[in-house]
Chains A and B, each alone.
Chain A
Amino acid sequence: MAGLAASFGSGAMTNSIGEVEKADAIFVTGSNTTEAHPVIGSMIKKAARNGANLVVADPREIELSKEADLAVQQKPGTDIALLNGLMHVIIKEGLHDEEYIKNRTEGFEAVKETLEEYTPEKVEEITGVKAEDIVELAKLYASADTAAIYYSMGMTQHKSGTDNVLTVANLAMLTGNVGKEGGGVNPLRGQNNVQGACDLGGLATVYPGYQAVEDPEAKAKFEKAWGVDELNPNNGLTVVEMVNAAGEGDVKGLYVLGENPMISDPDQHHVEEALKATEFLIVQDIFLTETAELADVVFPAACFAEKDGTFTNSERRVQRINKAVEAPGEAKADWKVFCELAKRLGFEMDYDSEAEIMDEIVEVTPIYGGISYDRIANEELQWPCPDKDHPGTKFLHEGEFAHGKGKFHVTKHIAPIESADDEYPYIMMTGRMLYHFHGGSMTRRSAAVDAYESDAYVEINCDDAVKLDIEDGDRVKVTSRRGEVETYARVVDIVQEGEIFMPFHYAESPANRLTNGDELDPKAKIPELKVTAVKVEKV
């Protein structure tokens, strides 16, 4: 997000999902698309079968790898090196788009210089990917007329997450693939309304529509719109910072809405201590989650099927949700609770319906300027949609980037925080699997899904399993510097030797008890969930 905003001026999927079929080449990296975004995964498979070049770079041999023209398995945390290696080859082969670079971007020369040292041979040393595969992959991507990149948390959940994204953006600009139908840089959003939460001010640094809180003009605009004398002029704390500040007593009141940081945040012990240390913890959710257990007050919320509203999907499309059933007991739509609380705190917020809220959003959020419930009932609108006559935007940066010229950024390989050593000889990645979702509070309570995939597991390479005397289905203990987790072993060949993979959906075997929340990516404040040094033992 921070990365794409820096490169292009806007941090969202540049193109639309339906454009998958228009790409001549598709590069998937850091996204296990068929499990985390299955519908897009199928579309990519279909595009590949219809002749698009599909290339995959992922530490695991994911389902799309089997479908790909070429798939490589880089070591976790070596994405910049790999991407820089690809760009090195592209420039050397003359496959870059000089015209585009000249007319539409800036900062290329410095990047070009940095790339010189990223020869395929050197990149092979860092990433473990064969030099000839790096050359081949670069050609498959860069020789296509229109090439799209799809990535997800495999790119961002690193210490170097922002730089990873900047590097992806460099690659796309180098080949002139941004601002073009069927191309682009497409981060896939993990949750239904991550995009909407970001768009509408759910970030510590911006008001709705990415208007900076530190920008006095924006502040004045919102003070006027909301009837507030003085809004706070300083950036707030991000998720992990909040939790840390709570632990240190700097945050005394914490309001957690529909989240379960006990499961989804890194270093579970640390999160638990911080939440316990919070003076007043409010949790608003549909279940009494692991986090809610620690709360002082719990508000029962209505779920997606019990209220009206809108979600904004990964491709910036604003879509309706419609009430289908009544909420159980006294559970309420979340917004009604905030309004009630605001009233009690002397801040008047009064709305009759979600549509009325949308009308206010539209007033203060330029990118949503032309959206209304009436319009989206009949039209498909993707922001930016600045006014009532605007048809929405299928792909971004056509002709010009949001902030004028696209910016190349120099990035260099940075080693992950933890590496394998004698005590913790394995590198653990965390991630998603098809049948469960995030903290599991919904899917683990859906009978059919949980009956089919009921047990937590860790994927271990078959050669490692032999060394560790572990058989498929054995109970194993995985230990990091922060804790230990017991789970079932799945002996597979899709993870490489020395690496293991654990989905994070299972409260009984929480992968995030092991991960590291200390050192964040400096810009996006994302923890390095994808590289944790661990040891594995049979129980």
Chain B
Amino acid sequence: MGTITVTIDGQQVEVDQQATLLDAANKVDIEIPTLCYHPDLTLHGSCRICVVEDAESGNLLASCATPVTDGMKIKTITDKVIEARKMNLELLLSDHPNDCMTCEADGACDLQELVYEYDVSEPSFGLMEEGKFEVKNENPFIEFDSNKCILCGKCVRVDNEVQCSGAIDFIERGFSSKVAVPFDQDLGADFSSCVFCGQCVEMCPTGALTYKPAKGQGREYELEKVETTCPYCGVGCQIELQVKDNKIVQVGSIYDEDHPNPVGETCVKGRFAYDFVDHPERLTKPLIKKDGEFEEVSWDEALDYTAQKLGKIKEEDGGEAIAGLTSARCSNEENYIFQKFMRGALGTNSVDHCARL
């Protein structure tokens, strides 16, 4: 494929023919703000925040949606561009609740960030006084507040193009347009094909889609983020545990084309079934059964007792009288050490696990 040279803010950039203005700008680290653009989703071109100016015609072009043409000269920061971005932000803000103080997305909201950056401190059209739409939150996973939705359509696209659930789409027209499940019900309603993978929440640039279990559990900037591998099925999705005060408060997506889940995919278990980790029923001390009842003991007591018992069986009945079920839930390192222990210390090859179940 041939390449094309365009000039962006005075810099010449050589890009491939299919590239957009946004691609070209990114190539030379010129930042253009976007709300509806996502590299893993089809082009939508709805937010109109990424506009830039064609130096020759003076026209504004949506950089995410405009293919480069040879010799094009683009300016990404002009009065006209700033005015247009600012106006569109003002418009979005006029149709958005003014509740950043209590909004779950505070600190993780692209709209908030841009409104701050473009100093939309006195929006020309006032602020939304009361919500147009009912908040949907009957299911235990995802709260959907359409009032905060800016209709960027990322949720709709990730749902239809990546998750392929077809659970949500746009309904209504004009100012009443919104994203909804069939018959405008809750995501968990009977007619909904939502499977609660949470990818829409990850994509949402505002607080329209939020995780219910994470509500009030911490702000984006308070969370420590740890990348890890999902503990459920064998796909091995890479996920991000978001932790506050030694507690996992939500599970985020990681986008990396080399991962088994390149577009941040995960399922409802990977996304929501994490609170077993700090469940009150977690075992916290070794237990020994004495007279049919468990009793909490120290590690030393439990280990000594166990070693003595195993040693005795090995001595009296041989290692083959001992068997171990290792675990498909434990790590490679633990499986290795367990079988080494069983084989090396106890002399048995009876090490197996539930691969077959």
Q: Which residues of A contact B (CB under 8 A)?
A: 1, 16-18, 34, 36-40, 42, 45-46, 49, 67, 153, 156-157, 188-205, 207-208, 213, 222, 226, 228, 230-232, 234-240, 242, 245-246, 250-259, 261, 264-265, 279-280, 282, 285-288, 292, 295-301, 303-307, 309-315, 317-326, 328-335, 337-342, 344-347, 349, 351, 354, 357-358, 360-361, 380, 434-437, 441-443, 445-449, 451-452, 524-527, 529
Contacts and interface: CB of A to CB of B under 8 A. Distances in A.
Interface residues of B, number: 114
A13 B357 CA distance: 17
A297 to B, nearest CB: 5
Nearest to B199: A42
B337 A282 contact: no
Given A252-B321, A298-B286, A332-B299, 12 more contacts: A42-B265, A194-B353, A235-B349, A261-B354, A288-B294, A296-B289, A304-B329, A314-B233, A328-B282, A346-B345, A442-B276, A448-B213
Contact of B273 (A236, A446, A525): A446
Interface in B255-293: 258-262, 265-269, 272-279, 281-289
Contact of A232 (B164, B328, B343): B343
Contacts of B337: 334-335, 338-339, 349, 351, 357
B213 A345 contact: no
B317 to A, nearest CB: 6
Given A231-B343, A326-B246, A446-B272, A254 B282 contact: no
B243 A246 contact: no
A202 B329 contact: no
Contacts of A235: 349
Nearest to B289: A296
Interface of B: 139-141, 161-165, 188, 195-197, 212-213, 224, 226-238, 241, 243, 246-248, 258-262, 265-269, 272-279, 281-289, 294, 299, 302-311, 313-314, 317, 319-357
Contact of A253 (B141, B195, B299, B323): B323
> Closest 5 CB pairs between A and B?
A329-B284, A313-B236, A189-B234, A309-B331, A236-B349
A3 B86 CA distance: 64
Contact of B349 (A234, A317, A340, A526): A234
Contact of A347 (B232, B331, B334, B341): B341
29 contacts: A37-B233, A38-B233, A39-B235, A46-B161, A153-B357, A191-B354, A197-B327, A198-B355, A200-B335, A201-B343, A202-B353, A231-B343, A236-B323, A242-B352, A254-B323, A264-B357, A282-B310, A298-B288, A304-B331, A312-B332, A325-B241, A325-B277, A328-B278, A331-B284, A342-B341, A344-B304, A347-B344, A436-B269, A443-B269
Given A324-B241, A437-B273, A226 B266 contact: no
Given A202-B353, A236-B352, A329-B285, A345 B334 contact: no
B327 A259 contact: yes
Given A195-B234, A200-B332, A200-B339, A325 B353 contact: no
B303 A279 contact: no
